[in-house]
Amino acid sequence: MCRTMPTPSPSKDNIAAVIVSYNPDSEFAHRLDRIFPQVARVIVVDNSSVSFREELHRVLLSKVELIANPYNVGLAGALNQGVRRAVELGFAWVLMLDQDSLIDHDMVDCLLEIYHHYPFPQKVGLIGSNARSPISGRLYMECYQRQKIFMEVKTPMTSGSLLSVNAYEQIGPFRDDFFIEAIDLEYCLRLRKHGYKVLISCKPLMTHAAGKMKERRFLRRVVVVPDHEPWRYHYQLRNLIFVVRSYFWQEPGWVFVALVNFMKALVRILLFEDNRLRKFNAIWRGIRDGIISRNGGKEASHHLGE
């Protein structure tokens, strides 16, 4: 159940943005400029960036609070660091963002509007932002009732999500052992398990790409597919199995859709992606480790040069 302590209504004065960076590109500072006017504090957690780290620190130190990790602690670990720092500073809400997300100028205003339109605001644990693809222009989630400004969902993406600090303290931190994959899936299902509501905007509030993407031609059509390293598929499958095992009885519909999407991903890899053998090997090891509940970040650490 939701905790009884009242959650303060979100406002620009009680929202801190937390951005996790890892070797960001040269446009990172420009994307940060979109964030500064919309929140009270910006916290960047840098996971030991190699590229232009000194320049990054010089630019950021004058504008943001920077947590510089000596090694890559993963997305989940870095998010926990940033949220805990926001809690220490007294913020009631945290806007979580990826380094590649370009937010709209009115993102926070739209998220606040959703909160105030929801009939049971004290039950809101997280409000996600819909996103448009920079390549295809497609929306992350389609809102079928166009007159609505939000809909209740199960698992919006982490980036662009406004998280209640009360909810975070009630249900606990992100799973560090997930490292980078399925963090948002597990956390949103955990919020729902504890009685919190998870919402998403119908309107796209940012431009966001889910990692590196490539275009492939198939039957005279252009297909956009991910270009992940093989080790990420290990984490995707291992963590997906963890989530399925944890929430199967609570969210059977979500589990069914997740497994269907997994089968589609296998077909996509087989037809369009490079390094198929290495990726299927990583998938097999991820399935094995998920079944036997093997944790650890050694595989990612090895490939990230830690």
What is the per-residue pLDDT across 113-155, written as a single tens digit (0 to 9) for each? 999 999 999 999 999 999 998 877 788 888 877 678 999 999 9
Residue 101, pLDDT > 70, answer: yes
- pLDDT at residue 301, as a whole number: 44
Same domain, 33 and 174: yes
Same domain, 203 and 217: no
Tokens of residue 291, six digits: 């079944």
Sort 6 into a burial class: Cβ within 10 Å, 0-12 / 13-18 / 19+.
exposed
Q: Domain range for residue 146?
A: 12-207
State how far the alpha carbon of 140 is from the alpha carbons of 69, 137, 217, 239, 294, in Å: 31, 9, 22, 21, 31
Q: Is 51 a member of any domain? A: yes
Global pTM value: 0.88
**Number of domains into which the chain is organized:** 2
Contact 32, 98 (CB under 8 A): no
Q: Is 6 a member of any domain? A: no
Q: Is 4 a member of any domain? A: no
Same domain, 230 and 196: no
Tell me what the pLDDT averaged over the chain comes to: 87
Same domain, 166 and 127: yes
Residue 16, domain CATH: 3.90.550.10
Same domain, 245 and 202: no
Residue range 6-21, pLDDT digits in tens? 789 999 999 999 999 9
Strands 197-207 and 150-152: antiparallel
Same domain, 282 and 167: no
Q: Is 2 a member of any domain? A: no
Q: Is 140 a member of any domain? A: yes
Same domain, 59 and 198: yes
Residue 257, pLDDT > 70, answer: yes
**Partner residues linked to 97 by β-bridges:** 19
Q: Is 183 a member of any domain? A: yes
Same domain, 182 and 238: no
- pLDDT at residue 298, as a whole number: 45
Q: Is 5 a member of any domain? A: no
Given 207, 227, 249, the domain boundary residue is 207
Given 180, 207, 234, the domain boundary residue is 207
Contacts of 99 (CB under 8 A, 6+ apart): 19, 20, 21, 22, 24, 28, 31
Same domain, 182 and 43: yes
Q: What mean pLDDT do residues 72-97 have?
A: 97
Same domain, 171 and 252: no
Q: Give the dihedral sign, CA 176/180/181/186.
A: positive
State in Å, rounded, how far the first CA of the chain is from the last one.
40
Contact 102, 206 (CB under 8 A): yes
Same domain, 138 and 221: no
Same domain, 82 and 142: yes
- pLDDT at residue 306, as a whole number: 38
* Alpha-carbon span 251 to 270, nearest angstrom: 29
Q: Is 257 a member of any domain? A: yes
Given 183, 207, 231, the domain boundary residue is 207
